Amino acid sequence: MSSNVVPIKEKEVLAPGKPGKDFVRIPLPMDAAPELVIDTANDDERMWMPLSENVAIRPLMLNVVQGSWVNLIRAKAGGIVSRHRHPAPVIGHTLEGAWGYLEHDWVATKGTFIFEPAGETHTLVVDPTVGHMTTLFHNMGPLLYVDENGKQIGYEDVFTRIEKFRAYYGSNGLGEGFVESLIR
């Protein structure tokens, strides 16, 4: 038996959040950031910041130490979501709907995992035959927004995202402090 495996006593029932009377909780190291657990199933709609008429973003974690962030992107209609370049990798997982990049021949549907290497420029579009999508993205660095010719027209990093979220949540009643709970 591996030294990592802890045998469970016969007939002992363990469940998340209810570890049992003999369970010993090992604390986090003193300087560790607290865990972040978010249930988005019943989100207040105000948590979704509009990016355009049919596109919204829901931040999940904003990592100011590594310059990365994790968010959900939701589109309620087919069409272009954004055109951008990544100087750092991005990981995505499609939760519903269908989307892809005009520059590629694949379509991401529910359950599709995507790894985007650094350096690529692409145009994210929602498949018009499906007409919606929700995808979790982990951006490991900034976004460089570009025009149809690839010329940079904008920039966004974790700090500009935090500023935008603070302003949005401050104006919609959730309060600027809402974003603080997502910063690590």
pLDDT digits (tens, 9 = 90+) for 68-96: 999 999 999 999 999 999 999 999 999 99
Tell whether the model's pLDDT for residue 2 goes beyond 60.
no
**What pLDDT is attached to residue 21?**
77
Residues 20, 55: Cα–Cα separation, whole Å: 44
pLDDT digits (tens, 9 = 90+) for 125-134: 999 999 999 9
Of 10-14, 86-90, 121-125, the range with the lowest mean pLDDT is: 10-14
Tell whether the model's pLDDT for residue 16 goes beyond 90.
no
Residues whose CB is less than 8 angstroms from the CB of residue 125 and which lie 6 or more positions away in sequence, other chains included: 78, 79, 80, 81, 99, 100, 101, 102
Pairing mode of beta strands 90-101, 121-126: antiparallel
Question: Residue 182, SS3?
Answer: coil
Question: Residue 165, SS3?
Answer: helix
Q: Tell how many helices (H) and how many strands (E) occur in the chain.
A: 2, 11
What distances in angstroms separate CA 104 from CA 26, 94, 110, one per listed residue?
Answer: 47, 16, 18
Residues 149, 139: Cα–Cα separation, whole Å: 23
Tell whether the model's pLDDT for residue 124 goes beyond 60.
yes
